[in-house]
Chains A and B, each alone.
Chain A
């Protein structure tokens, strides 16, 4: 980056404020839009959206079919639509385990999961998810048998991916809402197998 504009020694908060001021004066963004943007992810768009899609796919085979055929349309059915790239849902089975990454930056399905967590943006994850996915899964306490295919999706283009985890055993009596509460963010990226952690933590 150009030396004459290297403000990196300054506090990020002050730099963001200065940048926002410039962009607002230039009419490129307005402060209300920036607030609204953050609020979207604080209040409406996050892993709960993806979880509702997953839970519905567990109880409604016709929805599952539509989700696998066109996840953007299936998300829109539930009122979740985003300007990000097209969405594809990939399903975990007893033979295939899917894992989502973006090695080049940190592309992520914002429209159904919200902004990515720190670990997804970490260099450790971006570097190793493609070359050592089983090791990465072990970092999360998830171990996979050798006869299961680990299928890694590196989001190099505008297509975004969400994993449909397997429905945990012993949940047959649960309602769709109860099931949705079981579905974690991490399971929809593919680093967690539902029901495999002793104390399942709900993700926000």
Chain B
């Protein structure tokens, strides 16, 4: 979904402010919330929990702090799944861990391949940011297989597939006034990518570096 959480490239949020001597927790309740968020959220199904955060209404999302969003997501997730009605149901939901049959997927892409991020907007969860959709890049690393968030978030299967680090030039993503040397790298699932067969100006203006 094209939610407000997908912030890469947005403008108007101002300067980045660094708090001197920042405490680990700004409120006592945050101290509890990180445990709840990780143990009952991220470790149960990180994709589902992230998607619960994404479903917070945009105005509320922007008006809440990071851990307030965790709180809202956890409330929404467990309430939606019936925590207010039946605790047994809640237990069942939480036990739906990632336990689907595994399949070995052969990698479709190899390091050095030119690829294009697909233009897509699935109605649910996705980890393909808007700012790279349709843009051309180059595979610089194969990270191996991982659970596919777009299906896993909705308990629609693990759909394990290769994840690749893909390098895009800053100019390909954000225009010609960007520094020609600058690059952005994202880790993208195979289903987010297609082969780039276009000729002419490539997305990446030089060979990928040897180190990764």
Q: Encode contact with A along B8-32: 1 for CB under 8 Å, 0 otherwise.
A: 1111011111111110111111011
- Smallest CB gap from A103: residue in B: B8
Contact of A128 among B11, B35, B67, B211 (CB under 8 A): B11
A41-B34, A133-B182, A151-B183 known; A126-B17 Cβ under 8 A: no
Q: Which residues of A contact B50 (CB under 8 A)?
A: 104-105
Which residues of B59-102 have CB atoms within 8 Å of chain A's CB atoms? 60, 62, 64, 66-68, 71-72, 74-76, 78-80, 83-84, 87, 90-91, 94
Determine the distance from Cα of A126 to Cα of B8 in the docked complex, in whole angstroms: 6
**B27 in contact with A104 (CB, 8 Å):** no
**A186 in contact with B29 (CB, 8 Å):** no
Q: Encode contact with B along A39-55: 1 for CB under 8 Å, 0 otherwise.
A: 00110001000000000
- Give the secondary structure class of B's interface: mixed
**B7 in contact with A123 (CB, 8 Å):** yes
**B163 in contact with A127 (CB, 8 Å):** no
**B187 in contact with A157 (CB, 8 Å):** yes
Whether A182 is near chain B, meaning CB under 8 Å from some CB there, is: no
Determine the distance from Cα of A73 to Cα of B69 in the docked complex, in whole angstroms: 33
**B62 in contact with A123 (CB, 8 Å):** yes
- Smallest CB gap from A149: residue in B: B181
**A83 in contact with B43 (CB, 8 Å):** yes
Whether B155 is near chain A, meaning CB under 8 Å from some CB there, is: no
**B27 in contact with A12 (CB, 8 Å):** yes
**A104 in contact with B6 (CB, 8 Å):** yes
Whether A8 is near chain B, meaning CB under 8 Å from some CB there, is: yes
- Smallest CB gap from B76: residue in A: A1
**B29 in contact with A68 (CB, 8 Å):** no
Q: How many A residues touch B, CB cutoff 8 Å?
A: 75
Q: Which residues of B contact A118 (CB under 8 A)?
A: 17, 19, 22, 26, 66
CB distance from B57 to the nearest CB of A (A): 7
Q: Which residues of A contact B38 (CB under 8 A)?
A: 37
Determine the distance from Cα of A150 to Cα of B181 in the docked complex, in whole angstroms: 7
Contact of A148 among B7, B79, B181 (CB under 8 A): B181
Which residues of A140-163 have CB atoms within 8 Å of chain B's CB atoms? 140, 146-159
Whether A173 is near chain B, meaning CB under 8 Å from some CB there, is: no
Contact surface of A with B, Cβ cutoff 8 Å: 1-2, 5, 7-8, 12-13, 15-17, 19-20, 22-23, 25-29, 33-35, 37-38, 41-42, 46, 68, 83, 86, 91, 96, 103-106, 114-115, 117-119, 121-131, 133-134, 136, 139-140, 146-159, 186, 191, 201, 204
**Among all A-B residue pairs, the 10 with the closest Cβ atoms:** A103-B8, A34-B35, A157-B187, A37-B35, A5-B79, A124-B13, A127-B10, A13-B29, A149-B181, A123-B13
Contacts A19-B36, A118-B17, A127-B8 given; 10 further ones with Cβ under 8 A? A16-B33, A16-B71, A26-B83, A37-B34, A118-B22, A127-B10, A128-B13, A131-B9, A139-B16, A157-B146
Q: List 29 A-B contacts (CB under 8 A).
A: A1-B60, A16-B71, A17-B32, A20-B36, A22-B78, A22-B87, A26-B83, A26-B87, A26-B94, A34-B35, A38-B35, A83-B43, A103-B6, A103-B7, A104-B50, A106-B66, A118-B22, A122-B16, A126-B8, A130-B131, A134-B182, A149-B182, A150-B179, A154-B184, A158-B46, A158-B163, A159-B163, A159-B165, A204-B21
